[in-house]
Amino acid sequence: MELLNYFDAMGKAKKQYSRCMESVCRAWALTQNELAVLLFLQNNPRLDRAADIVACRGMAKSHVSLSVASLEDRGFLLRRFEPADRRTSHLELTDQGRAIAGEGQRRQRLFFEELYAGITAEEFELLRSLTEKIMENIENFDKTETNP
């Protein structure tokens, strides 16, 4: 079986995604990381902690912390601390943060429409299934000898 280089494909897709999101970032003077935080919170309402963003998006903890602080300072999100454990905070988008995230979601939809153009529903389901298997394999890397 000939191996595919997913890194090249994903690298190109990530670069194009960043280009697609540039107009939203420029309009609101946001960094790509700040927009990623807003979109994550909008797209995943049950996952509302900085640790969730780090775990799911693979962003560096320091980048998430800086982005959250900046977004909070600018009034795009609020932090709600748990009364029982003040170390744990939940992030909530403000109305303005939701409006920005809505613009970002529109750009995301355009990006994914173009990315998957010409792919049939059957092909898309196969891609989804294969991607899930690949993601499971990635999760299992720590359990195998390929990770020194």
Tens-place pLDDT, residues 15-34: 999 999 999 999 999 999 99
Burial (CB count within 10 angstroms: exposed 0-12, middle 13-18, buried 19+), residue 11: exposed
* Percent of all residues in the chain with a pLDDT value above 90, rounded to a whole number: 75
Q: Name the token pair of 89.
A: 């905070």
- Residue for token pair 């970002």: 104
Phi and psi torsions of 122, nearest 5° = -65, -45
DSSP, collapsed to helix, strand or coil, labels residue 147 as coil
Tens-place pLDDT, residues 73-101: 999 999 998 888 777 889 999 999 999 99
